[in-house]
């Protein structure tokens, strides 16, 4: 088959998916209105047809990529003959049209899976399917009429322009698809929330049914952020991992609201509170996910006038308005039916702990949002664009992060409904003492950074509170004659969500420790002649010379360094600054990193002069490794939280009786 | 409103006010005018002492980089007009001829002295024209 024909199949599949999505949006609702189950059923089948069609389109794009069809404008624009297999694959989501197709195909797959797995929610299903297919209609429309990955060039090229070398890094291989899986995953709970509103099934069924989806999407959003940070840290070569760039903020905002949602739904399930709030959160999360896709793809904030010139901008803007308009419209007309039966009994209770947790997450999301769109807002008000920088974001989010650590420690100690101050005080003793002792030790060790000290102290507090709570639970079980390890396992098995959540919290504490550590980092710029040394922290670095040599299409400039510690030779480091010479030059800084559990030694080569002197930046980033370990712990916790609950029959009966009583 | 709700309401209000204060002081300490080259040149007089975030593209062939001294000079343009930028520090990889850049610093009417330099990698942000 000619490559062109395959592309035509792909383009056809997308336009058919557009039609099928539109069908799947309208027909299920029509079926409900006409009370014709077979019409609803036909509408639901469109969800599967859409998935099939978009899978064909995705296969066609993969085919074009792997056969290096440089008559395809997208392939020619981002791929090249010398690109290896994996990075050729990653071209799928490296550009605009491809990443929009990725969005659409993941959405189609998730929709099919949700309709299949949640088929028992008969009343909700038609509306949820219509919502998902409405979203699919938007993306397939953009793919059909605005940004097609199957556009042909008038004359096929012999080789493509190639993938930006900055994107040729494992972090960038995994980051975009993970981020998109997270974004798209929010569509499922959102769709069922809309369905709950539309059908006035306003109990917590939609929440319970989509709990795993929420967790999955949250997990992918988390890893999207983590992969992004890893990439920035090892590839961008400035020594940090987060810069409050609009694109980063776009990924952070839905994570913040999704995290709030994960917590607040528990209050609705347990106490029938916060119904409206939960709906608002999931609507915002989905809208922010679409906004995030839009920000990364439109450049509205990166260049001052892109919004007006990109036709994607107004389209996405209109779609986000539509999402917000329809869902808040529904919410508003259902307010009367959304009264909560429960109420808060005390300021000092688990419930109000969750309430403040939610305020914090939403407050953080709001602050990040304001900071991100500040130039647009200020232009609307004053006619001049004014932007805010990292100090704005740090000033708000550092205290917010510390408050979260505190809450993470306090919440497990708080009882539902009303905590008695005395029992609370007793529970505080051990974690509080540990936190204070840790802070004193750090001050004695010379740490003076107030925010970092607070972060370590509160982190210790939170971790100790979690461990103490788990230990108490296990001790009670051991009292019934179970060995300690078994007691721990059974405890977690009985309530995987709670203990999974605790493990996630420990992971977050480690992530915060890494971040606080990086605040204690030092950096120093030096120019060294051959044989000269520089001291950095515990290390002494000797510059052993360097130079440039050609390797394929790259000009490599490398400095050789020997690292000593206390007179002992520790390692060699070879930071590089390379120039890739394809069609146009691209500089690639390859930093050298020596990682230990205690700290990262991070060396950037700015350049080597004609006289052989090297300009280096030497950075010590304490505890960086713990960020990545924390990410691993977070993963374990999420898996545990999603684990099916083990409920022995006798206990289940006992609980039913207890609930009835 | 019962007593518990009043207490919770008061706590929420305190919390929100604290957040608003943090936001306000954070914004004040890091606000900068976000301008294009033309906008800055039109207001050069008024912008003498102001913190400025300037966006534009790097004029091809104007980059002078001394890797050992760590100094960088280039011209940034909005397509019609241009001005000189001086910078000292680590140069981001995406910085090159034609790259979209944002520089932070001050403008004395002739030269823009940048303390921070950001370059956007073009393939990540695309508009219809180059996509």
Question: Considering the domain boundaries, does residue B129 fall inside one?
Answer: no
The reply to whether B14 touches chain A by the CB within 8 Å rule is no
The verdict on B67 and B97 lying in the same domain is yes
The verdict on B95 and B72 lying in the same domain is yes
The verdict on B73 and B114 lying in the same domain is yes
pLDDT tens profile A43-61: 999 999 999 999 999 999 9
| DSSP code for A156 | -
The verdict on B17 and B57 lying in the same domain is no
Question: Considering the domain boundaries, does residue B130 fall inside one?
Answer: no
Question: Considering the domain boundaries, does residue B21 fall inside one?
Answer: yes
For A402-447, where are the E strands, in sequence order? none
Can you give the pLDDT at residue A310?
58
Residue A253 has a CB neighbour count (10 Å cut-off) of 26
Can you give the pLDDT at residue A329?
96
The verdict on B70 and B111 lying in the same domain is yes
Q: Using CB atoms, which residue from B12, B100, B127 is nearest to A309?
A: B127
The verdict on B86 and B113 lying in the same domain is yes
Measure Cα distances from A306 to A141, A263, A294, A487, B32 in Å: 21, 37, 12, 59, 20
- For the segment A277-304, the average pLDDT, to the nearest whole number, is 81
Q: At what angle do helices A624-642 and A211-231 cross, to 10 degrees?
A: 160
Q: Using CB atoms, which residue from A311, A356, A525 is nearest to B15?
A: A356
Instruction: Give the confidence band of A659 by pLDDT, cuts at 50, 70, 90.
Output: low
Can you give the pLDDT at residue A422?
81
- B126 has pLDDT over 50: no
Q: Which residue of A247, A308, A343, A392 is the best one to mutate when testing the B interface, meaning the one whose CB has the most B CBs within 10 A?
A: A392
Question: Considering the domain boundaries, does residue B131 fall inside one?
Answer: no
pTM: 0.91
What is the rounded average pLDDT for all residues in chain A? 89
Instruction: Give the confidence band of A258 by pLDDT, cuts at 50, 70, 90.
Output: very high
Could you give phi then psi for residue A142, rounded to 5 degrees?
-60, -40
The reply to whether A586 touches chain B by the CB within 8 Å rule is yes
The verdict on B59 and B97 lying in the same domain is yes
Q: What is the domain-level CATH number for residue B87?
A: 2.40.50.140
- A335 versus A660: the higher-pLDDT residue is A335
Instruction: With beta carbons under 8 A apart, name residues in chain B contacting A310.
Output: 127-128
Residue A326 to residue A306: CA distance in whole angstroms: 28
The verdict on B56 and B81 lying in the same domain is yes
Total domains present in chain B: 2
Residue B52 to residue A471: CA distance in whole angstroms: 55
- A419 versus A564: the higher-pLDDT residue is A564
The verdict on B44 and B105 lying in the same domain is yes
- Of B94, B101, B127, the closest CA to residue B116 belongs to B101
Residue A147 to residue A145: CA distance in whole angstroms: 6
The verdict on B63 and B111 lying in the same domain is yes
Could you give phi then psi for residue A114, rounded to 5 degrees?
-65, -45
**Highest-pLDDT range among A378-382, A417-421, A462-466, B27-31:** A462-466
- Measured in angstroms, the CA of B102 and the nearest CA of chain A are apart by 9
Instruction: Give the confidence band of A162 by pLDDT, cuts at 50, 70, 90.
Output: confident
pLDDT tens profile A549-605: 998 888 999 999 999 998 899 999 999 998 887 656 778 889 999 999 999 999 999
The reply to whether A529 touches chain B by the CB within 8 Å rule is no
Residue A654 to residue A652: CA distance in whole angstroms: 5
Question: Considering the domain boundaries, does residue B124 fall inside one?
Answer: no
Instruction: Give the confidence band of A380 by pLDDT, cuts at 50, 70, 90.
Output: confident
- A503 has pLDDT over 60: yes
Can you give the pLDDT at residue A298?
59
Residue A100 to residue A352: CA distance in whole angstroms: 41
Q: Using CB atoms, which residue from B31, B67, B118 is nearest to A609?
A: B67
Q: Which of residues 62-101 of B touch A (CB under 8 A)?
A: 65-70, 89-98, 100
Contact A552, A661 (CB under 8 A): no
Question: Considering the domain boundaries, does residue B88 fall inside one?
Answer: yes
- Measured in angstroms, the CA of A118 and the nearest CA of chain B are apart by 37
* Domain residue limits at B21: 1-31
CB contact under 8 A, B68 and A238: no
- For the segment A363-369, the average pLDDT, to the nearest whole number, is 93
Percent of chain A scoring above 70 in pLDDT: 94
The verdict on B42 and B85 lying in the same domain is yes
The verdict on B25 and B80 lying in the same domain is no
Any idea what the Cα angle at residue A644 is, between residues A642 and A649, rounded to 5°? 150
The reply to whether A78 touches chain B by the CB within 8 Å rule is yes
- Among the residue ranges A193-197, A293-297, A370-374, A529-533, the one predicted with the least confidence is A293-297
Question: Considering the domain boundaries, does residue B80 fall inside one?
Answer: yes
Residue A81 to residue A223: CA distance in whole angstroms: 31
Question: Considering the domain boundaries, does residue B55 fall inside one?
Answer: yes
Instruction: With beta carbons under 8 A apart, name residues in chain A contacting B120.
Output: 302-303
Q: Which residue of A171, A175, A299, A528 is the best one to mutate when testing the B interface, meaning the one whose CB has the most B CBs within 10 A?
A: A299
- Token pair in block for residue A558: 């490398």
Residue A661 has a CB neighbour count (10 Å cut-off) of 5
CA atoms lying within 13 Å on the CB side of residue A442:
23
């Amino acid at each position: 088959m000619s490559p062109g024909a395959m592309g035509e199949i792909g383009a056809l599949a997308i336009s058919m998916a557009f039609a099928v999505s539109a069908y799947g949006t309208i027909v299920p609702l029509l079926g409900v209105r006409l009370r014709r189950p077979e019409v609803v059923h036909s509408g639901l089948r469109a969800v599967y047809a859409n998935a099939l069609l978009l899978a064909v389109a995705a296969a066609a794009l993969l085919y074009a990529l792997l056969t290096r069809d440089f008559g395809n404008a997208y392939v020619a624009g981002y791929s090249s003959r010398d690109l290896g297999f994996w990075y050729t694959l990653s071209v799928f989501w490296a550009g605009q049209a491809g990443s929009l197709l990725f969005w659409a195909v993941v959405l189609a797959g998730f929709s099919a899976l949700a309709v299949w797995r949640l088929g028992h929610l008969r009343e909700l299903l038609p509306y949820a399917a219509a919502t998902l297919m409405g979203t699919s209609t938007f993306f397939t429309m953009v793919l059909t009429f605005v940004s097609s990955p199957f556009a042909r060039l008038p004359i096929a090229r012999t080789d493509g322009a190639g993938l930006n070398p900055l994107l040729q890094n494992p972090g960038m291989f995994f980051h975009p698809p993970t981020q998109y899986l997270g974004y798209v995953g929010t569509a499922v709970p959102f769709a069922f929330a809309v369905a709950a509103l539309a059908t006035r099934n306003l109990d917590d069924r939609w929440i319970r049914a989509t709990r795993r989806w929420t967790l999955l999407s949250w997990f992918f959003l988390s890893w999207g952020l983590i992969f992004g940070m890893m990439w920035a840290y090892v590839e961008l070569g400035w020594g940090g991992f987060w810069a409050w760039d609009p694109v980063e903020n776009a990924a952070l905002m839905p994570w913040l609201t999704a995290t709030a949602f994960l917590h607040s739904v528990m209050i609705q399930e347990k106490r029938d509170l916060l119904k409206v709030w939960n709906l608002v959160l999931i609507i915002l999360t989905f809208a922010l996910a679409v906004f995030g896709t839009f920000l990364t793809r439109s450049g509205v904030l990166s260049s001052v006038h892109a919004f007006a010139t990109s036709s994607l901008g107004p389209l996405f803007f209109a779609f986000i308005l539509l999402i917000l308009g329809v869902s808040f419209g529904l919410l508003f007309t259902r307010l009367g039916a959304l009264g909560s039966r429960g109420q808060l009994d005390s300021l000092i209770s688990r419930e109000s702990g969750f309430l403040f947790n939610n305020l914090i997450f939403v407050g953080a999301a709001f602050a990040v949002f304001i900071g991100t769109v500040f130039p647009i807002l200020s232009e609307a008000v004053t006619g001049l664009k004014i932007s805010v920088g990292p100090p704005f974001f740090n000033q708000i989010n550092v205290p917010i992060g510390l408050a979260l650590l505190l809450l993470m420690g306090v919440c497990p100690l708080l009882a539902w409904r009303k905590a008695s101050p005395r029992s609370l005080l007793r529970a505080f003793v051990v974690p509080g003492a540990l936190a204070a002792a840790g802070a004193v030790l750090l001050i004695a060790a010379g740490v003076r950074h107030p925010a970092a000290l607070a972060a370590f102290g509160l982190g210790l507090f939170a971790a100790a509170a979690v461990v103490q709570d788990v230990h108490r639970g296990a001790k009670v079980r051991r009292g019934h004659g179970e060995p300690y390890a078994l007691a721990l396992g059974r405890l977690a098995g009985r309530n995987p969500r709670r203990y999974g959540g605790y493990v996630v919290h420990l992971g977050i504490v480690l992530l915060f420790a890494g971040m606080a550590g990086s605040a204690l980092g030092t950096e120093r710029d030096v120019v060294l002649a051959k044989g000269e040394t520089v001291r950095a922290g515990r290390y002494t670095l000797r510059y052993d010379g360097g130079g440039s040599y050609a390797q394929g299409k790259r000009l490599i400039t490398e400095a050789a360094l020997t690292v000593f510690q206390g007179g002992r030779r520790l390692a060699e480091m070879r930071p590089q600054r390379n120039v890739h010479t394809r069609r146009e030059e691209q500089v690639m800084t390859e930093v050298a990193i020596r990682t230990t559990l205690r700290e990262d030694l991070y060396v950037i080569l700015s350049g080597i002069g004609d006289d052989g002197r090297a300009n280096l930046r030497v950075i010590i980033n304490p505890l960086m490794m713990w960020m990545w370990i924390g990410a691993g712990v977070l993963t374990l916790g999420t898996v545990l939280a999603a684990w099916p609950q083990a409920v022995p029959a006798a206990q289940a009966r006992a609980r039913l009786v207890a609930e009835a009583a | 409103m019962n007593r518990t709700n009043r207490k919770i309401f008061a706590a929420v209000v305190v919390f929100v006010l604290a957040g608003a204060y943090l936001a306000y002081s954070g914004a004040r300490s890091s606000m900068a005018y976000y301008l294009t080259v033309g906008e800055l040149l039109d207001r050069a007089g008024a912008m003498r002492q102001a913190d400025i975030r300037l966006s534009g593209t790097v004029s091809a062939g104007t980059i002078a980089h001394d890797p050992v001294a760590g100094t960088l000079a280039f011209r940034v343009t909005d397509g019609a007009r241009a001005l000189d930028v001086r910078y000292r520090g680590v140069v981001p990889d995406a910085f090159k001829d034609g790259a979209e850049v944002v520089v932070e610093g001050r403008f004395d009417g002739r030269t823009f002295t940048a303390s921070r330099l950001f370059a956007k990698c073009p393939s990540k942000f695309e508009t219809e024209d180059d996509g």
